[in-house]
Amino acid sequence: MPERGEDGTGVRTDGHWSDHTACRAADPEELFADGAGQNRSKAICFGCPVRTECLAHALDNRVEHGVWGGMTKRERRALLRRRPTVTSWRRLLDTARQEHRADIGRVADPGARLPEAS
């Protein structure tokens, strides 16, 4: 079964994540815009099935330019400053996604038992 993207749609897992981006057909000038153009770029990201992978790539590789994973270079720099001890954004974001899915599963199944406090 294919993975699910952030919007709940299936994401093909063959090939590289960049093969499945919502922006792959966009004008590169749009993705590396300044000012108000960045908001248009970010809008493309919001429905992207591989948004998390894209953001993790930009953070892990300290990409300085453009909008990646719905964040501008300024937003990414601020995040990196706030979380200087993160060694793998990919691992952190994958873990957060799995925990989020588990939380959604518990809400969807009201009979599910919550873990006991230790």
pLDDT average per 10 residues of sequence, the chain (118 residues): 43 73 86 85 91 95 93 95 95 90 75 58
> Assign residue 66 a region: left if phi > 0, alpha if psi is -120 to 50, beta otherwise?
left
pLDDT at 2: 39
Structure tokens at 118: 């230790």
Structure tokens belonging to residue 89: 């954004």
How far is it, in rounded angstroms, from Cα 98 to Cα 5? 12
Beta bridge partners of 10: 4
pTM: 0.73
Please count the other Cβ atoms lying within 10 Å of the Cβ belonging to residue 67. Answer: 27
